[in-house]
Amino acid sequence: MERNNKNNSIAILGSTGSVGKQSIEIARLLNLKIDLLASSTSVDEIEKQAREFKPKYCVLTNEKSASDLKIRIVDLNTKVYSGEKNLLDVIEQSTADTAINAISGFAGLAPAISCAKSGKRIAMSNKEAIVIAYKFLKEEIKKHNAELIPVDSEHSAIFQCLQGRAKNDIKRIILTSSGGPFRGKNKAKLMGIKAKDALAHPTWKMGAKITVDSASLMNKGFEVIEAVRLFDVKPEQIKVVVHPQSIMHSAVEYNDNSVIAQMGAPDMRTCIQYAITYPNRMPSYANSLDFAKLGSLSFEDPDMNTFTLLPLAFYAIEKDGIIPTVLNASDEIAVKYFLEEKIKFTDIFDIVEDVVRNFRNIDSPTLEDILNADKEARALTEEKIKLFR
């Protein structure tokens, strides 16, 4: 099989989450070997995966879950490890060419750096590492001749639209958004939203945190930051467009005003697969588009007055420094409290805005500054939440 993944072997970090499970389906479809499976606690799921793919390594960051798994798969030749430190060591030892980084949250950063250090292709699904510390990750990627291919559907689309074209040909990036399940509602209507309403996302199948972020358009905001970093453009070169059908996954407008868009059925598996097989394309699970059946595609501006986390993300990337880190940390805490039904949906907007706008920036932060800002922003958000409850 002609693929860029030389030894046909992959690592899946976060294998029991939504993107992780879909990566397993790709491995099955493309007949890939899996060298490493990593998750936090899901013993039943990872046992199933290990029995099917017989990886060299399994890592469960939770110690108790790891010792449980060790006993369960004692009949396999799989080495089982626990803990974050071992995960990083195993990533560096793994001979997989490509690692799918589907670990969610801040925890995805250190594994991404380990992937870079061992010269792997990183099929990057984790947003936080890019939003927070892309500069450091990029340095390691360059130093060790690694590479990063975006998995996020919009960034995968932009990456595809940019193939074969020079960076200074880009005029704008058109970042599409489904608008989320609450498109058209005003702030008063959003106040009564419960966690279960926010979790009923219309188009993409995802985890709880990112589903809430999609509903609040915070996710789109993170994607703006991600696009600025990955494609090295200015924030004002990003135009967010609401496109409820999620058929056009994003586009690039060039200097001559020609727009190249990437389209397809909304199926994350296509994005994951492309990141593995790039620059080649293989048959996939995605349905072929039937344009006549689609009928029409619609586009509109996002409601920035209601969904204030989106303009806040533009503010954060314009300030840069530690502010994107603060935005990420504060949102993570606020969403956690919302999911526990301790604050209202709109409180997320107000609390995060308050924390971000009042945080003192550091212009060229070290990694330590970033880690400190992350901690500080989380603590500050918890404090503000106490005032709201």
Q: Binding residues for Mg ion, per CB under 5 A?
A: 152-154
Decide whether 121 or 249 has the Cβ nearer to Mg ion.
Answer: 249
197 by DSSP, 3-state: which? helix
Taking CB positions, which residue lies at the least distance from Mg ion? 152
Bond prior to 279 in cis (omega within 30° of 0): yes
Token pair recorded at residue 194: 């419960």
Gyration radius of the chain over CA positions? 20
> Closest distance between Mg ion and the C-beta of residue 36, in Å?
25
Decide if 363 contacts 319 (C-beta within 8 A).
no
> Closest distance between Mg ion and the C-beta of residue 157, in Å?
9
| Cα 351 to Cα 87, 97, 131, distances in angstroms | 34, 42, 20
Name, in order, each residue with C-beta under 8 angstroms of 109's C-beta and a sequence gap of 6 or more: 126, 128, 129, 132, 133, 137
Decide whether 128 or 152 has the Cβ nearer to Mg ion.
Answer: 152
Decide whether 152 or 374 has the Cβ nearer to Mg ion.
Answer: 152
> Closest distance between Mg ion and the C-beta of residue 152, in Å?
4
> Closest distance between Mg ion and the C-beta of residue 270, in Å?
13
Sheet holding 57-60, edge to edge: 79-82, 57-60, 33-39, 9-13, 98-101, 121-124, 147-150
Decide whether 11 or 157 has the Cβ nearer to Mg ion.
Answer: 157
| Cα 162 to Cα 113, 158, 288, 375, distances in angstroms | 25, 6, 22, 36
Decide whether 154 or 331 has the Cβ nearer to Mg ion.
Answer: 154
Decide if 198 contacts 211 (C-beta within 8 A).
yes
Phi-psi region of 220 (alpha: psi -120 to 50; beta: other; left: phi over 0): alpha
> Closest distance between Mg ion and the C-beta of residue 366, in Å?
29
Decide whether 153 or 277 has the Cβ nearer to Mg ion.
Answer: 153
Decide whether 114 or 177 has the Cβ nearer to Mg ion.
Answer: 177
DSSP designation for 287: P
Decide whether 105 or 119 has the Cβ nearer to Mg ion.
Answer: 105
> Closest distance between Mg ion and the C-beta of residue 229, in Å?
15
> Closest distance between Mg ion and the C-beta of residue 151, in Å?
9
> Closest distance between Mg ion and the C-beta of residue 332, in Å?
17
Token pair recorded at residue 287: 């349905």
Q: How far apart are CA 99 and CA 88, in angstroms?
A: 12
Burial (CB < 10 A; 0-12, 13-18, 19+), residue 351, is buried
> Closest distance between Mg ion and the C-beta of residue 70, in Å?
36
Decide if 32 contacts 276 (C-beta within 8 A).
yes
Decide whether 153 or 328 has the Cβ nearer to Mg ion.
Answer: 153
